[in-house]
Amino acid sequence: MLAQQPTNPFGIVSPPPGVVQYSGGDVTKGLPVFINNILKFLIIGAGIYSLINLVLAGYEFLGAGSDPKKIANAWGKIWQTLLGLAITAGSFVLAAIFGQIIFGDPKALLQIKIFGPTTP
């Protein structure tokens, strides 16, 4: 008597169309693309948050009238938002400078590459 081949109870599962770019054994796909997309999303989110915070602090400054405590509070928010944006932009500049010095490519630290075994 022949042994019966076990069947997959779930059938053939194919990835959704949006996930195809993350699949495969190629080093240009998979985890590096996913991490780069997450980092881009976080950077865009930080920029939008900073813009909203700057606008709200500006309205707070305009509505402060002659109250020195409210004016100081609004200036503090504006200053902290601009400082945060400067630190964020400066981190990209420093990453590009260090990437150029260490690896000879300014994008080396800005575009994540994970190398591993390749499939034939």
Half-sphere exposure of 57 (CA within 13 A, CB side): 17
pTM of the model: 0.63
pLDDT in tens, 97-111: 999 999 898 988 877
b/e 76-96 (16+ beta carbons within 10 angstroms → b): ebbeebeeebeeeeeeeeeeb
Do 34 and 22 form a contact (C-beta atoms < 8 A)? yes
Is 92 among the domain residues? yes
Is 112 among the domain residues? no
What mean pLDDT do residues 32-39 have? 79
Is 88 among the domain residues? yes
Q: What is the dihedral of CA 61, 42, 87, 53, to 10 degrees?
A: 0
Tokens of 67: 């109250």
Domain of residue 60, residue span: 29-103
Is 36 among the domain residues? yes
pLDDT in tens, 46-75: 889 999 999 999 999 999 989 999 999 999
